[in-house]
Amino acid sequence: MSSPSAVLPGPSAEAGPAGPAASPVNTRPRRSRRWVGRLASYLVMVFVLLTLNFFLPRAMPGDPVDGLLSQGSNTFVFGEAARSKLEQYYGLDQPLGAQYVHYLARMAHGDMGRSIVTNRPVRHEIARRLPWTLLLVVSSLLLSTLIGLVAGVNSGWRRDRGGDRTVMTGLLAVREFPPYLLASLLAFVFAAKLGWLPLSGAETPFSSTFGPIERVLDIGRYLLLPLLVMTAGLTAGTYLTMRAGMVSELGSDHLLLGRAKGLRERRLKYRYAGRNALLPVVSLSAVEVGFAVTANILVERVFSYPGLGGLMFSSIGVRDYPVIQGVFLVVSVGIVTVNALADVLNGRLDPRVAR
């Protein structure tokens, strides 16, 4: 015999357009406005970054011509006339407003200019070094997130026990080490003293003649020390966030119901508690990109790793405006883009964030 609820008519075809509840709410205009607002905010942020990108290098003392001379470049400047010609060639003799307009016009066409020191196109300099930076930053973010998630889930599940205290103390202690100090210590022990790993660089000279597997192993040897330093500094944030989420889930109703049903502890820990505690980690991962890029500049400097960090550091020393602008633009727009994508992903995972 059917239950009474089974024979009740549905609220759609039978009832007709009798009232407001009969027609579903059209959420498309609201979603469209939301996406337009996000896109407008993103474009405004990019414009602000472009503006800061132009004015901040010029706020530093000195100018590119002085930096060029101080580095002993092959470009020789004899007297004020020759200096004026060089400034005119690079557009440094124009008023600041005119330089800014010219800079925006070039950026609109995808032209980052030429390096004042090497006279090579900036986009070529960046394209040559960007893959090494992406390899180091992405690898460290993935590895630190994986370690932080697993350690946070297990520590939070067994909070205030011996293993929890040990892991927390160790990760917090490593996190307090400045990246350059930890990098120098590891380089001294494992490269200079023991000789187990290379001290600097990213690959063996003429490694292009190696086979595929041999070349991957060679790149991995050079990557290992910078990767350890980067991962050590990033793991603690993910670990603490995941652990706090797990602790807040321990007394939740769905865990009590799962235990009453006799579900296994592993399933309760990862499928129920761990899954619900994962949302704050998504937001944190976007923030960690900024920390990773900042630490990357110092780590690349210590290990002479041929990435964007080393290029930025050397360009600041000689006030190479086009290179500084290009590297800063790529890094800052990348960070803003990752944060925007994390915001969209958070809205997908939790509709309350979108609302």
pTM for the model stands at: 0.76
Establish if 268 belongs to a structural domain. Answer: yes
Report the CATH number that the domain containing residue 261 is assigned in CATH: 1.10.3720
Per-residue pLDDT, 179 = 82
Q: What pLDDT is recorded for position 70?
A: 62
- Look at residue 19 in the predicted model and tell me its pLDDT: 46
Give, in order, the Cα–Cα distances in Å from 63 to each of 17, 55, 123.
Answer: 73, 13, 22
**Which residues in 260-295 are b (16+ Cβ under 10 Å) and which e?**
eeeeeeeebbeebbbeebbbebbbbbbebbbebbeb
pLDDT at 106: 87
Which residues form the domain of 259?
131-308
Q: What is the rounded distance in angstroms from the CA atom of residue 103 to the CA atom of residue 49?
A: 13
pLDDT value at residue 139 = 93
Question: Is 27 contained in some domain?
Answer: no
Question: CA 141, CA 154: separation in Å to the nearest integer?
Answer: 20
pLDDT at 18: 45
In a domain, 252, yes or no: yes
Task: Judge whether 207 lies within some domain.
Answer: yes
Residue 64 is which amino acid? P
Q: Is residue 49 included in any domain, yes or no?
A: no
- 171 located within any domain: yes
Per-residue pLDDT of the chain (355 residues; tens, 9 = 90+): 444 444 444 444 444 444 444 445 555 666 667 677 777 888 888 888 888 888 888 888 777 777 666 655 455 545 677 677 777 777 777 888 888 888 888 888 888 888 888 888 899 989 999 999 999 999 999 999 899 888 888 887 777 777 778 888 888 888 878 888 888 888 889 988 888 888 888 888 877 778 888 888 989 999 999 999 999 888 888 888 888 877 777 766 666 777 777 767 677 776 766 777 777 777 777 778 888 888 888 888 888 888 888 888 888 878 888 898 889 888 888 888 887 787 777 666 665 555 5
Residue 256 lies in a domain: yes
Q: In this structure, how many other beta carbons lie within 10 angstroms of the beta carbon of residue 150?
A: 15
* 131-144 burial code (b ≥16 CB/10 A, e <16): ebbebbbebbbebb
For the chain, how many structural domains are there in total?
1
Residue 63 within any structural domain of the chain:
no
